[in-house]
Amino acid sequence: MENHDSFVLHGNIIYTPDKNKFISLKDGWMVVEKGKIISVSAEKPASAAGLPIKDCKGKLIMPGFADLHLHAPQFIQIGMGMDYKLLDWLDGYTFKEEPKFADPDYARQIYPIFVDEMTACGTTSSAIFATIHKESTDILCDILAQKGVRAYVGKVNMDTNSAPALTEETAKSLQDTEAFIEKWQNHPLVRPIITPRFVPSVTADMMTGLGKLAEKYQVPVQSHLSENPGEIQLVKELFPQDKYYMSVYDRFGLFGQTPTLMAHCIHLSAEEIAIMAGKNVYAVHCPASNLNLTSGLMPLRKLLDAGVKVVMGSDIGGGHTLYMPHEIVRAIEISKIRSIEHPEEKALRLSEAFYLATKAGGEFFGQTGSLETGYSADFLITDVPDFQQGRTVEEQLQYFIYHGTAQDIREVYVNGLSVKN
Ligand SMILES: [Zn+2]
């Protein structure tokens, strides 16, 4: 059964084809052929004939999670410095930790542990910031590729306002980035993404070069946007000619000219939200991080209502866990807090939050993140305790999202292949 990419699963199936509803089947059937989902049905379909059956009776089968913003090197500083806000936390912790990845042996020591944990948490697709170091970033990509999970990985660019050990020479940074793109652009699972850290750490020359690379190779972009009032003020001082924070990225071809992920997007005016909605830019909501660094309460409902594409991220080490159900619950909690002060911002329902962390995020990688016909067979099998067996499948999922842990995730598949140790 292991690593057989054509088979039939029989168990409790649940997914969100759209954000407003779950589809669930008790003792349903899911046919997987050559790594793709062929069908999900209540009765055993004719197409199941001749395929091995994987008995998942009494367990949940759901799409794998998509974590669209996280920093792999910060895995080792999770939980540290949480008394700080963003800019002091970066100076006090992150900018002291990331230089360690100049040593490839250190990357070889840390990154496998990170990738194993992310996969064990049920994340099958991710968009990852590495560090400025090309060799360590290649090592991270090798580990992800070997594991068989789907990821966009960015060699981070920083050439100003950074610790000396993290300040690159602009031309060299661009050369390294181009070499990294050329090495990984055709890999089936692990792909490059242009990754200026955020506006304060990159010069206009760097952004000009990165915008050209995004266009030349048609690769996506990821960065941070409007996370913290101090950061926004700093951007205003650095680029006074640009109307908004996002205008800086846009001017250099780094804001939706190719698909773009912007983490946080907390402090945005109605006009900025409208601009975003008109572009191929995804807002990555990172609720745990936003609380830990006292960054703010993202007006998620406003962004959704305006038509902005919203996805979810763990943002470790601003966030403190790679386990995406934690982020699903935090997103709902933050939206409920906002709805108390702003009744017009309706709180997020579980189906919506689950959709953001599966199908909405999976879309960035193609047809992944749902259990619909034609989608990649990226899914999880989780335990359901005996005392919850009498519940509906939707209730079993509710229990798992709120009370489950990574230990309840028994198996993780990408393209129909087992990826969990
Ligand atoms: Zn981040």
Residue 259's CATH number? 3.20.20.140
pLDDT at residue 23 is higher than 60: yes
- Does residue 319 share a domain with residue 201? yes
Cis peptide before 278 (omega within 30 of 0): no
28-78 tens-digit pLDDT = 999 999 999 999 999 999 989 899 999 999 999 999 999 999 999 999 999
* CA 172 – CA 178 distance, rounded (Å): 10
How much distance in Å is there from the Cα of 338 to the middle of ligand 1? 22
**206-225: average pLDDT:** 98
Whole-number Å distance between alpha carbons of 156 and 222: 10
DSSP-based three-state secondary structure for 416: coil
**Full residue range of the structural domain in which residue 92 is found:** 65-365
Question: Ligand 1 center to residue 317 CA distance, Å?
Answer: 8
Question: What is residue 86's predicted lDDT score, i.e. its pLDDT?
Answer: 85
Indicate the helix (H) or strand (E) that contains 311: strand 309-312
321 alpha carbon – ligand 1 mean position (Å): 13
Q: Which residue has the higher pLDDT, 308 or 89?
A: 308
Between the CA of 130 and the centroid of ligand 1 the distance, in Å, is 11
Ligand 1 geometric centre to CA of 263 (Å): 6
CA of 224 to the centre of ligand 1 (A): 6
Q: Both 230 and 304 in a single domain?
A: yes
Quick: pLDDT tens for 108-152.
999 999 999 999 999 999 999 999 999 999 999 999 999 999 999
Q: How far is the CA of 40 from the centre of ligand 1 (A)?
A: 36
Burial 75-106 (b: 16+ CB within 10 A, else e): bbbbebbeebbbeebbeebbbebbbbbeeeeb
DSSP H stretches of helix in 45-169: 86-89, 95-97, 104-120, 134-147
Distance 365 CA to ligand 1 centre (A): 20
Last residue of a domain, one of 322, 344, 365: 365
Calculate how far, in angstroms, residue 193's C-alpha sits from the geometric centre of ligand 1.
Answer: 14
- 97: CA distance to ligand 1 center in Å? 14
CA of 95 to the centre of ligand 1 (A): 13
Q: How confident is the model at residue 2 (pLDDT cuts 50, 70, 90)?
A: very low
**Claim to verify: residue 188 and residue 232 sit in the same structural domain:** yes
* Domain boundary, last residue among 365, 388, 408: 365
pLDDT at 275: 98
Measured in angstroms, how far is the CA atom of residue 238 from the centroid of ligand 1?
A: 20
Chain mean pLDDT for the chain: 96
- Label residue 58 left, alpha or beta by phi (over 0 means left) and psi (-120 to 50 means alpha): left
The total domain count for the chain is 2
Please say if the pLDDT value at position 421 is more than 80.
no
Q: If you measure from the C-alpha of residue 129 to the centroid of ligand 1, how many angstroms do you get, rounded to a whole number?
A: 8
- Residue 44 and residue 70 in one domain: no
315 CA from centroid of ligand 1 (Å): 5
- Band the pLDDT of 287: cuts 50, 70, 90: very high
For ligand 1, the distance from its centroid to the CA atom of residue 69, given in whole angstroms, is 6
Other beta carbons less than 10 A from residue 269's beta carbon: 10
Give me ligand 1 centre to Cα 350, in Å: 24
> 3-class DSSP state for residue 268?
coil
26 and 79 share a domain?
no
Cα separation, 15 vs 42, in Å, equals 14
Pair 98, 122 in one domain: yes
Q: Verify that 395 and 296 share a domain, yes or no.
A: no
Closest CA to 194 of 245, 111, 253: 253
**Span from the CA of 195 to the centroid of ligand 1 (angstroms):** 11
Q: How far is the CA of 70 from the centre of ligand 1 (A)?
A: 6
CA 325 – CA 319 distance, rounded (Å): 13
Whether the per-residue pLDDT at 401 is higher than 90: the answer is yes
- Find the 386 Cα to ligand 1 centroid distance in Å: 39
Give the CATH number for residue 393. 2.30.40.10
Say if residue 298 is in the same domain as residue 208: yes
% of the chain with per-residue pLDDT over 70: 99
Task: Report the run of H or E that residue 216 belongs to, with start and end.
Answer: helix 204-217
What is the whole-number distance in angstroms between the Cα of residue 50 and the centre of ligand 1?
47
Provide the whole-model pTM.
Answer: 0.97
Distance from C-alpha of 283 to C-alpha of 300, rounded to nearest angstrom: 9
Cα 19 to ligand 1 centroid, rounded to whole Å = 25
How many whole angstroms from 133 Cα to the centroid of ligand 1? 17
Q: Do 146 and 273 belong together in one domain?
A: yes
Looking at residue 87, its pLDDT comes to 86
- 221: which strand partners? 194, 260
Distance 326 CA to ligand 1 centre (A): 17
Residue 99 shares a structural domain with residue 190: yes
Which of these, 122, 121, 146, 141, lies nearest to 72 by C-alpha position? Answer: 141
